[in-house]
């Protein structure tokens, strides 16, 4: 069945200095309705610029953005009903009033027609986002995580069609972060909201997104389902950005028992098995505690490998171990 599209960009370019060195170049992107699209890329690759173009707060130098197959108007010049349907949650809370209370800020997210139900709606939103106890606090004095929750409550109170999320959970603690992620998933699944999520956390994107778009130097270089991009990345860039792993030259790969004719190999930490075996050539150099598992850095002949180890405490720094690589990804010299 054909997916219904809600937003489309056709060959959009936005440069800040008249050349391709900043912003985004020639981006064509189709956003399916009622799904989560994740955008991933290194710092400065153009993710926020793309979100601003989708929100209408930036206008492309060339190319077009369509919302429900109609040209998206410039938000600054011409604030229209369509802009109420597209909510942009930024890291800088620019739509929030720092001097007003939490209650007033969330209430301001209501459309005029909804204001007669103000008390009920604001009260429900404060409960849903666990910020009821903050209702009379001044927004500007809240912690970063509290501000993010209030901003999300305000954005969602008027039931937008599209939610553009720029690092929405980066200030929230791990426990609350998971429950916010689940809330966003529920809103997408239950209310048919479309979300576009920019995050630096690969685990967050892999677990939340239905489709992932990889951006490098202002261009889309790869896209697909999170599973496909993680399991079979076409580009070295994608593998390094999505997974915790080690990049090896062909000579270094040989030390790990991997033979390749291509330019480089990436071995994900989860695909390396360590044991106390026969050869025990490798030495545990570092142990990084990760909570429910640990990551070991093991070394042999000046080659270091990252290993995901679920048997915490089994090895110590200096332990001698055997290593086997179960799976690896090969890339051409220029990918």
Ligand X SMILES: Nc1ncnc2c1ncn2[C@@H]1O[C@H](COP(=O)(O)OP(=O)(O)OP(=O)(O)O)[C@@H](O)[C@H]1O
Q: Which residues are at the interface with ligand X (CB under 6 A)?
A: 16, 22-23, 41, 43-49
Q: Quick one: 43 or 302, whose CB is closer to ligand X? A: 43
Closest CA to 10 of 318, 22, 1, 24: 24
CB of 19 to ligand X, least distance (A): 11
Q: Given CA atoms 12, 17, 22, 23 in this order, what sign does their dihedral have?
A: negative
* DSSP letter string, 122-179: HHHHHHHTT-GGGTTSBGGGS-HHHHHHHHHHHHHHT--SEEEEESTTTTS-HHHHHH
CB of 334 to ligand X, least distance (A): 22
Pairing, β 194-198 against β 36-41 = parallel
Q: Quick one: 23 or 60, whose CB is closer to ligand X? A: 23
Q: Quick one: 48 or 151, whose CB is closer to ligand X? A: 48
Closest CA to 166 of 71, 81, 248, 90: 90
CB of 90 to ligand X, least distance (A): 10
CB of 20 to ligand X, least distance (A): 10
Q: Quick one: 18 or 318, whose CB is closer to ligand X? A: 18
What letter does residue 328 receive in the DSSP assignment? -
Q: Quick one: 42 or 299, whose CB is closer to ligand X? A: 42
Q: Quick one: 7 or 39, whose CB is closer to ligand X? A: 39
CA distance 50 to 72: 14
CB of 13 to ligand X, least distance (A): 12
* DSSP letter string, 238-291: HHHHHS-EEEE-HHHHHHTT---SSSEEEEEGGGEEEE--S---EEEEEEEE-S
CB of 27 to ligand X, least distance (A): 11
């Amino acid at each position: 069945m054909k997916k219904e599209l809600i937003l489309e960009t056709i060959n959009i370019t936005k440069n800040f200095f008249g050349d391709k060195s900043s912003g985004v170049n020639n981006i064509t992107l189709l956003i399916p309705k009622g799904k989560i699209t994740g955008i991933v890329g290194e710092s400065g690759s153009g993710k926020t610029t793309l979100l601003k173009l989708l929100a209408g707060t930036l206008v492309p130098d060339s190319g077009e953005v369509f919302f429900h197959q109609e040209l998206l108007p410039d938000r600054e010049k011409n604030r229209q009903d369509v802009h109420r349907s597209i909510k942009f949650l930024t890291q800088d809370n620019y739509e929030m009033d720092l001097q007003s209370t939490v209650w007033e800020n969330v209430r301001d997210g209501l459309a005029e027609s909804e204001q007669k139900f103000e008390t009920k709606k604001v009260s429900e939103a404060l409960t849903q986002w666990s910020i009821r106890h903050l209702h009379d606090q001044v927004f500007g004095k809240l912690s970063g995580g509290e501000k993010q929750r209030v901003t999300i409550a305000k954005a969602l109170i008027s039931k937008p069609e599209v939610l553009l999320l720029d690092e929405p959970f980066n200030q929230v603690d791990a426990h609350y972060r998971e429950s916010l992620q689940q809330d966003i998933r529920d809103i997408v699944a239950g209310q048919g909201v479309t979300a576009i999520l920019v995050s630096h956390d690969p685990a967050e994107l892999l677990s939340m997104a239905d489709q992932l778009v990889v951006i490098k130097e202002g261009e889309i270089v790869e896209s697909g389902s999170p599973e496909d991009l993680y399991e079979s990345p076409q580009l070295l860039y994608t593998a390094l950005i999505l997974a915790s792993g080690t990049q090896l030259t062909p000579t270094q790969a040989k030390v790990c028992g991997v033979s390749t004719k291509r330019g480089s190999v990436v071995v994900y930490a989860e695909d390396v098995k360590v044991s106390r075996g026969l050869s025990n050539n490798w030495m545990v150099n570092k142990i990084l505690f990760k909570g429910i598992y640990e990551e070991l850095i093991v070394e042999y002949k000046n080659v270091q490998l990252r290993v995901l180890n679920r048997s915490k405490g089994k090895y110590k720094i200096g332990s001698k171990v055997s290593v086997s690589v179960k799976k690896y990804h090969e890339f051409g010299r220029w990918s």
